[in-house]
Amino acid sequence: MNKKRIIFIASIIVIAAAVIYPSIVYITSKSSNDSSPPTDNQVQAEAWNKGTLEEQAKQLTALMTDKEKIGQLVMYTPTDQADAFSSSMIKEFYVGSALLNRHLQTAAEMAAFTNQLQQWAGESRLGIPLFISGDLEYGAAQRVPGEATILPRQMAIGATHNVEHAEQAARITAIEAKAMGFQWSFSPVSDVNSNLENPVIGVRSFGQNTKLVSDMAVAQVKGYQAEGVLSSAKHFPGHGDTGFDTHSTLAKVSYNEEVLRKVHLPPFQAVIDQGIESIMTSHIIIEAIDPELPATLSKKVLTGLLREQMGFKGIIVTDAMVMEAISANWGAGEAAVMAINAGADIVMANGSVEDQYETLNTLYEALQDGKIERARVDNSVERILYYKLKMNLFEQQSVDANQAAALVGSKEHWEQSNQIARDSITLIKNEGILPLDPKTNDHILVVSVAYADWIAESVRQMVSGQVTAYQAAPARGEKLDAAPEAIAEAVALAKKADRILVFTQSDRQLPQGQIDLVNQLLATEKPVVTVSLGNPGDILSYPNAKAHLSTYALDNWYWLTPIPVSWDAAVQVIFGASPKGKLPVILNETYKEGYGLRYP
């Protein structure tokens, strides 16, 4: 029998509640279910280490105390690397999952961190391993930007119209994430971006066409499954037609049920049919199903629609409960109880330390008081343990830091990422300006509202002439716009240059300052190439541009999510590489889905 499955209990320990913050006490047990289990280790191990995985999960659940069960329902967020808070949450409060939302610079550091978390899990009473998860929409680089391979955003992959690229991106992500100790990626984004002014999805979506999104999402699930990593389709039942960001407000969608079922649900049904292991909920009110509660808290949505009608049998995990759509309307604890009662299996408790303790305390108290049915809890715990057993986490909890360093950010992965990016660049407009001659000695001015120096360096790799960079907006900030003095400076520099490359970025409507910047550069009558870094609809704000490319590189958290492979690819197309991308969204009657020019 494997050592990891033998339960070592030398004596029964009654765990005191206050650990780090004495004022925050984990509520003690009120039921006989928390009485100490038998001390015969062999009997306990034999009791659950036989039969099918479902039977093993059920038998192990029967050995668990209420505290241990509640812990499995909570995904906590470490506040620091290998800190005392993590140790107590894992070893004493029995949390079953960890969300890693911070950046570490090296693969070896991340592997050491996840190994420490799993070691603590192994030292808990039953030694149940953790699920270690993260948002990995554009690769493991979302967590380890210093070394991991950066992949194009999902709308860029959608612009390739190549499902093999989607699967390959997922495989790269899974290989690198798994090497560092992750077992769970919160991807693919399966939202159909039917509202071009959606402030939170945008280039995170594969596109506007339901079939395209479905095909791409299924391909990514296949890639994750092939490499043994859980994937999670989000944000159920579809976040693509909202006009508000649920990080800051509670949003509603008012389309009818027919639109919901024809446009937004098919990608989720497609990945369910593919056997996806988890689905993440959205904090939006779908009026056609439940006009009162957001999906995360709605039994009509999670149990009635997702479980009963769509047949999903995997793990339902909530989106971050700290988002103001939830936290501003319900407290962390109350919302957690509502989510579990609605049908969620795991609550993502990524708020403050106090919020995370409140989540655990309130769930535990609700179970003792009968506000959550015991069968509801057991059902979720059994499901979670089933997937931990299926992934062999009890057998192999740690990873090799040296192997992680060798696999993460490999040359092969970077080459594949660069190819996907090159195939995504979409030529929207070209009135005799492109391609530019890379052999020219012309003075080229690069004007951008984001990452001007980085982009200019990409241009320098292509040409021998002088390249000047000008950042026309703050390097980091909420408002991506160009002030009048910045526009004047850009125009002055343009008059000294031979050719101008100007990069704009929006998550929905382009700010007026950026529009003025482009138009005044066009007025110099120098050859100008415009490039959208984010929303491909930027071209609609400066229709007089004569040459325009879309990269789909940046979302509204642009300073956190640089995707240099995409703007590098755009620069390559500007200087002669073949543009292959096609719009995955509709911009207007001229620029429809599938539109994309080619060089002669």
pLDDT at 195: 84
Amino acid at 214: S
C-alpha neighbours within 13 Å on the C-beta side of residue 31: 13
What pLDDT shows up at residue 34? 58
The pLDDT, as a whole number, for residue 5 is: 36
Average pLDDT score over residue span 32-58: 65
Mean pLDDT across the stretch 549-555?
95
CA-nearest of 133, 148, 51 to 565 is: 148
Average pLDDT score over residue span 385-399: 94
Name the least confident of 80-94, 200-214, 287-301, 522-536: 80-94
Confidence of residue 47 (pLDDT cuts 50, 70, 90): low
Which has more confidence, 405 or 351? 405
**pLDDT value at residue 23:** 32
Reported confidence tier of residue 33, pLDDT bands at 50, 70, 90: low
Model confidence at 44, pLDDT cuts 50, 70, 90, reads: low
Average pLDDT, the chain: 89
pLDDT at 324: 60
pLDDT of res. 473? 87
What is residue 30's predicted lDDT score, i.e. its pLDDT?
38
- Identify whether the C-beta of residue 199 lies closer than 8 Å to the C-beta of residue 247: no
Average pLDDT over residues 80-90: 84
Average pLDDT over residues 98-115: 94
pLDDT at 42: 40
The kind and range of the H/E element at 448 are: strand 444-448
How far is 93 from 86, CA to CA, in rounded Å? 10
Residues belonging to the active site: 247, 319
Structure tokens at 266: 């098919």
Return the pLDDT at 145. Answer: 93
pLDDT at 537: 94
- Determine the pLDDT at residue 327: 57
The yes-or-no verdict on residue 11 having pLDDT over 80 is no
| Mean pLDDT value across residues 354-380 | 95
Structure token digits, residue 189: 């984004």
What is the percent of the chain with per-residue pLDDT over 90, rounded to a whole number? 76
pLDDT at 151 over 50: yes
pLDDT value of position 328: 63
- Range of weakest confidence among 233-242, 293-302, 523-532: 233-242
**559-587: average pLDDT:** 95
Sign, CA torsion 379/383/389/390: positive
pLDDT tens digits, residue range 108-149?
A: 999 999 999 999 999 999 999 999 999 999 999 999 998 999
The H-or-E segment that residue 332 falls in is helix 332-342
Taking only the tens place, the pLDDT of each residue in 414-433 is 999 999 999 999 999 999 99
| Residue-level pLDDT at 35 | 45
Tokens of 466: 């002088």
pLDDT over 60 (residue 2):
no
Q: What does the chain come to in residues?
A: 600
How far apart (Å, rounded) are the C-alpha atoms in residues 214 and 494? 44
Q: Is the pLDDT of residue 591 over 70?
A: yes
pLDDT at 480: 83
Residues facing residue 504 across a β-bridge: 532
Output the pLDDT for position 24: 34
Neighbour tally for 317: CB within 10 Å: 27
pLDDT at 36: 46
In this structure, the number of other CB atoms found within 10 A of the CB of residue 195 comes to: 17
* pLDDT, tens only, 310-340: 999 999 999 878 756 565 667 778 899 999 9
